[in-house]
Chains A and B, each alone.
Chain A
Amino acid sequence: DTGVSQDPRHKITKRGQNVTFRCDPISEHNRLYWYRQTLGQGPEFLTYFQNEAQLEKSRLLSDRFSAERPKGSFSTLEIQRTEQGDSAMYLCASSLEGGFGETQYFGPGTRLLVL
Chain B
Amino acid sequence: AQSVTQLDSHVSVSEGTPVLLRCNYSSSYSPSLFWYVQHPNKGLQLLLKYTSAATLVKGINGFEAEFKKSETSFHLTKPSAHMSDAAEYFCVVSDRGVNQGGKLIFGQGTELSVKP
Q: Which of A45, A101, A106 contacts B103 (CB 8 A)?
A: A45
Mark out the residues of chain B between 3 and 60 whose CB falls within 8 Å of any chain A CB in the assembled complex: 32, 34, 36, 42-46, 49, 51, 53
- Interface pair B101/A43, CB less than 8 Å apart: no
CB of A41 within 8 A of CB of B101, answer no
B109 partner, pick from A35, A42, A93, A102, beta carbons under 8 A: A42
* Distance A97 CA – B101 CA, assembled complex (angstroms): 7
Specify which of A40, A48, A91, A102 is in contact with B32 (CB 8 Å cutoff): A102
User: What's the minimum C-beta distance from A15 to chain B, rounded to whole angstroms?
Assistant: 25
Query: A41, A45, A102 — which one has the most chain B CB atoms within 10 A of its CB?
Result: A102
Of the four ranges (under 10, 10 to 19, 20 to 34, 35 or more), the interface on chain A belongs to 20 to 34
Q: Could you tell me if A101 and B32 are in contact, using CB atoms closer than 8 angstroms?
A: yes
Q: Which of A44, A100, A106, A108 contacts B99, CB < 8 Å?
A: A100
The reply to whether B109 and A41 contact each other, CB–CB distance below 8 Å, is: yes
Given known A33-B103, A42-B109, A43-B106, contact A100–B43 (CB-CB < 8 A) = no
CA–CA, A6 and B64, complex, Å: 30
**B101 and A106: CB pair below 8 A?**
no
Is residue A17 within 8 Å, beta carbon to beta carbon, of the partner chain?
no
Q: Is residue B104 within 8 Å, beta carbon to beta carbon, of the partner chain? A: yes
Quick check: is B74 within 8 A (CB to CB) of the other chain? no
Q: A102-B99, A106-B43, A108-B42 are in contact. Are A41 and B104 (CB under 8 A)?
A: no
- A105-B103 CB under 8 A given contacts A42-B90, A42-B109: no
**B 99-116 contacts with A by CB, 8 A:** 99-101, 103-109
Q: Which of B43, B45, B53, B108 is the most central at the interface, judged by chain A CB atoms within 10 Å of its CB?
A: B43
Instruction: List, in ascending order, chain B residues with CB within 8 A of A33's CB.
Output: 103-104
